[in-house]
Amino acid sequence: MNVLPPSVADLSDEDLLELYTAGTGAPWLRVNFVATLDGSASAAGVSGSLGGPDDLRVFDLLRRVADVVLVAAGTVRDEGYGPMVLHDVDVAWRRSRGMPDHPVFAIVTGSLSLDPASRVFTEAPVRPIVLTSTSAASSPTAAALRDVAEVVACSADGDEDSVDVALVREALVSRGYGTIHCEGGPTFLGALVAADVVDELTLTIDPSLEGGAGPRIARGSSPELRRMRPVHVLRGDGDVLLTRYVRAR
């Protein structure tokens, strides 16, 4: 008796896109993570060594269908993100459906510790969006970033030094970016969970034990458990499991 889930290798890109877009709403906030069996979101400080080729294949497909790729500044810095440029095959797919060639790159930061001269901005095919607090958005640092990005204040009334992640979501949706694809990281996911604005988690389980030094995929505190409903599980190269859960509301 085979109790393992279907293999990604047997599925075309269109099959996968059908699976990953089934039941999505508008707006929709999807979060994508990889974790080890013992719950670490990184190995030696980055997530790049976790997952493998099929995880990367799905990672690219999820970017392909996104209006905006949302990443918090810690992950942008730690993972050495470059500009949000999709592969030619993804661009061709998007063009054929009347979508812009590339999704917008949106970065969440409280401190604005982002280098305006970095490739994230200088080589961006679409002007990125930096989402920050109201107080940071009126600082001199914000003025420099405004040359290369749209800087958006997302603080709740009376809390001008904090970023309200529900307002981050609203800011993107109000600009027409209803399909939001978030690539982390853990601090940001913790805030998204606390605000209960996650519609979907796609989690790749890497069949390894990290030992305990790495972070979990979410860091923070939530007033209550956010129940998720499994939608599918697939098996990928290197024996990873690619899971998809949506919020059970």
Shortest reach from residue 97's CB to ligand NAP, in Å: 27
Question: Which residue in 65, 185, 200, 244 binds ligand NAP (CB under 6 A)?
Answer: 185
Shortest reach from residue 171's CB to ligand NAP, in Å: 13
Number of residues counted as binding ligand NAP (CB under 6 A): 31
Residue 165 lies near ligand NAP (rule: CB under 6 A): yes
> One symbol per residue from 201 to 220: x for binding ligand NAP (CB under 6 A), - otherwise; what is it?
--------------x-x-x-
> One symbol per residue from 27 to 46: x for binding ligand NAP (CB under 6 A), - otherwise; what is it?
------xxx-----xx--xx
Scanning residues 64 to 123, which ones bind ligand NAP (CB under 6 A)?
A: 72-75, 78-79, 108-111, 113
Residue 154 lies near ligand NAP (rule: CB under 6 A): no
Query: Residue with the closest Cβ to ligand NAP?
Result: 74
Shortest reach from residue 190's CB to ligand NAP, in Å: 8
Per-residue HEC secondary structure of the chain comes to: CCCCCCEHHHCCHHHHHHHHHCCCCCCEEEEEEEEECCCCCCECCECCCCCCHHHHHHHHHHHHCCCEEEEEHHHHHHCCCCCCCCCHHHHHHHHHCCCCCCCEEEEECCCCCCCCCCHHHHCCCCCCEEEECHHHHCCHHHHHHCCCCEEEECCCCCCCCCCCHHHHHHHHHHCCCCEEEECCCHHHHHHHHHHCCCCEEEEEEECCCCCCCCCCCCCCCCCCCCCEEEEEEEEEHHHEEEEEEEECC
